[in-house]
């Protein structure tokens, strides 16, 4: 084979998803393991979404509604925003890719916080553009340093709020001061994959900036708080002129029919959303208390994951926890060599995590 791949494609680090439970059990010959690694919903999918999707099965021989009419209308009502400003995606991942393809040419620059969600870097590099990294400052997005990195070549700034993997937020006040300094030809993307979990009243809400006045796009997903990660559905809220461009370049049926059906039902299932958010908050408190009991430090979060300082090589802790049937995430590849990231699960899963964690760390079990 003598295919010539561009250097910028060869430079892409592959995305490494959280280890699936089945893979762990196959590799280690164990059973009954738990996964607290990918910020998924411990309650499963919204029951209303399951019912709606089951009822839709016999229509799967038809192509999806390429406009996503029902879901777009519902989102339009929820956010009080024109349907023309909404773009659906095969997960919000796909919208990240559409935005980069729409705006970037070889050599353009995109500012990313470091660490941040790896898909931004992958999509930027696959357009031949250049990621410019701005390190988080004490785990928070450093908006002043981002402004300082803007050049004539900057086309996009990716922010996530709350930040993955630290769980910190950007305040509305901080963002207002920031946005004033961003040139009008630079798109600011606010990725709100975890916004439903944020409690801080000062937290920036991207929807407040969704108008033709601001070059701002907001990304949201059904993968986390709505429990629909497996069917892949997310959306972007953005100026209509930008949405029109994304509609030109997207696949005609990018949001599949089952996903649209599930998402429509999930959006109406407020009971499930509230239950999920309450559970995550209660279980975070439970885990915080357990970690304190073990005499270790953690970083409080506004999302459905949090960081724990294990004061040693986090990859080794990750490996040891795997052997005990508990999947968490090591933050070594994110540049935090002594941190792990944990997503709260159900109470029994969290108890199991604490038990395995105490053992791994050589501490007495949390009673
Ligand atoms: C910050 C952030 N944005 C986007 C995504 C992707 O979400 P989706 O499942 O909608 O593609 C994730 C998933 O982990 C994420 O952490």
Q: Using one digit for the tens of pLDDT, what is the confidence trace for 161-205?
A: 999 999 999 999 999 999 999 999 999 999 999 999 999 999 999
- DSSP codes of every residue in 320-359: HHHHTTEE-EE-GGGT-TTEEEE----HHHHHHHHHHHHH
pLDDT the model gives residue 24: 83
- Residue 22, judged by CB atoms within 10 A of its CB (0-12, 13-18, 19+), counts as exposed
- Whether the pTM exceeds 0.85: the reply is yes
Q: Is 234 in the pocket of ligand 1 (CB under 6 A)?
A: yes
Between 23 and 353, residue with greater pLDDT = 353
The pLDDT tens digits of the residues spanning 88-105 come to 999 999 999 999 999 999
CA of 365 to the centre of ligand 1 (A): 34
Q: Which atom of ligand 1 is nearest to the CA of 160?
A: 1
At how many degrees (to 10) do helices 92-103 and 118-126 cross? 30
Mutate which of 221, 229, 254, 305 for ligand 1 pocket (most atoms within 8 A of beta carbon) = 221
pLDDT the model gives residue 107: 95
Q: pLDDT exceeding 90 applies to what percent of the chain?
A: 91
SS3 306: strand
Residue 335 has pLDDT above 80, yes or no: yes
Residue 146 has pLDDT above 90, yes or no: yes
Residue 367 has pLDDT above 80, yes or no: no
Q: Is 343 in the pocket of ligand 1 (CB under 6 A)?
A: no
Q: Is 221 in the pocket of ligand 1 (CB under 6 A)?
A: yes
Q: How confident is the model at residue 208 (pLDDT cuts 50, 70, 90)?
A: very high
Token pair for residue 138?
A: 């004490």
Token pair for residue 123?
A: 């999509």
Q: Is 41 in the pocket of ligand 1 (CB under 6 A)?
A: no
CA neighbor of 226 nearest in space, from 362, 10, 74, 22: 74
Average pLDDT, integer, range 197-224: 95
Q: Is 91 in the pocket of ligand 1 (CB under 6 A)?
A: yes
How remote is the C-alpha of 306 from its chain's centroid? Answer: 13
pLDDT the model gives residue 213: 82
Token pair for residue 33?
A: 């393991």
Domain positions in the chain are: 14-44+271-360, 47-269
Q: Nearest C-alpha to atom 2 of ligand 1 is from which residue?
A: 193
Residue 323 has pLDDT above 80, yes or no: yes
Mutate which of 71, 96, 167, 193 for ligand 1 pocket (most atoms within 8 A of beta carbon) = 193
Token pair for residue 174?
A: 């901080």
Supply the CATH classification number for the domain 47-269.
Answer: 3.40.640.10
pLDDT the model gives residue 365: 83
Q: Could you tell me which CATH class the domain 14-44+271-360 is placed in?
A: alpha beta
Question: What's the whole-number average pLDDT of the chain?
Answer: 96
Q: Which atom of ligand 1 is nearest to the CA of 39?
A: 14
pLDDT the model gives residue 64: 98
Contact indicator for 152, 185 with CB cutoff of 8 Å: no
Residue 262 has pLDDT above 80, yes or no: yes
The pLDDT tens digits of the residues spanning 268-318 come to 999 999 999 999 999 999 999 999 999 999 999 999 999 999 999 999 999
Residue 215 has pLDDT above 80, yes or no: yes
CA of 7 to the centre of ligand 1 (A): 26
Domain 14-44+271-360 and domain 47-269 have a common topology: no
pLDDT the model gives residue 32: 84
Q: For the chain, how far is it from start to end, CA to CA, in angstroms?
A: 59
pLDDT the model gives residue 13: 85
pLDDT the model gives residue 35: 95
Q: Is 164 in the pocket of ligand 1 (CB under 6 A)?
A: yes
Residue 345 has pLDDT above 90, yes or no: yes
By residue count, the chain amounts to: 367
20-166-341 Cα angle (round to 5): 35
């Amino acid at each position: 084979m003598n295919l010539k791949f561009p250097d910028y494609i060869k430079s892409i680090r592959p995305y490494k998803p959280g280890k699936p439970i089945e893979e762990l059990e196959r590799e280690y010959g164990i059973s009954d393991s738990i996964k607290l690694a990918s910020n998924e919903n411990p309650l499963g999918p919204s029951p209303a979404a399951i019912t709606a999707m089951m009822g839709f099965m016999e229509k799967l021989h038809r192509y999806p509604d390429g406009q996503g009419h029902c879901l777009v209308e519902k989102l339009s009502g929820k956010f009080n925003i024109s349907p023309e400003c909404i773009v659906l995606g095969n997960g919000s991942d796909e919208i990240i890719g559409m935005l980069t393809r729409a705006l970037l040419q070889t050599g353009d620059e995109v500012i990313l916080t470091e660490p941040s969600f790896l898909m931004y870097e992958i999509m930027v590099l696959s357009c031949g553009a250049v990621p410019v990294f701005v390190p988080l400052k004490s785990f928070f997005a450093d908006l002043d340093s981002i402004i300082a990195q803007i050049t004539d070549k900057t086309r996009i700034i990716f922010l996530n709020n709350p930040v993955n993997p630290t769980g910190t937020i950007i305040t509305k006040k901080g963002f207002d001061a920031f946005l004033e300094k961003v040139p009008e030809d630079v798109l600011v993307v606010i990725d709100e994959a975890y916004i439903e979990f944020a409690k801080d009243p000062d937290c920036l809400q991207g929807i407040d900036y969704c108008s033709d006045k601001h070059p701002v796009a907001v990304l949201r997903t059904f993968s986390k708080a709505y429990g629909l990660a497996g069917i892949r559905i997310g959306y972007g809220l953005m100026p209509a002129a930008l949405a029109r461009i994304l509609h030109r370049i997207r696949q005609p049926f990018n949001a599949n029919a089952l996903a649209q059906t599930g998402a429509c039902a999930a959006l109406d299932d407020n009971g499930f959303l509230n239950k999920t958010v309450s559970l995550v908050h209660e279980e975070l408190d439970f885990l915080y208390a357990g970690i304190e009991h073990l005499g270790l430090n953690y970083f409080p979060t506004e999302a459905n994951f949090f960081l724990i300082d294990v004061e040693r090589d986090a990859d080794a802790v990750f490996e040891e926890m795997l052997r005990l049937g508990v999947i968490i995430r090591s933050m070594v590849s994110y540049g935090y060599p002594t941190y792990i990231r944990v997503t709260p699960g159900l109470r029994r899963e969290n108890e199991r995590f604490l038990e395995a964690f105490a053992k791994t760390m050589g501490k007495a079990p949390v009673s």
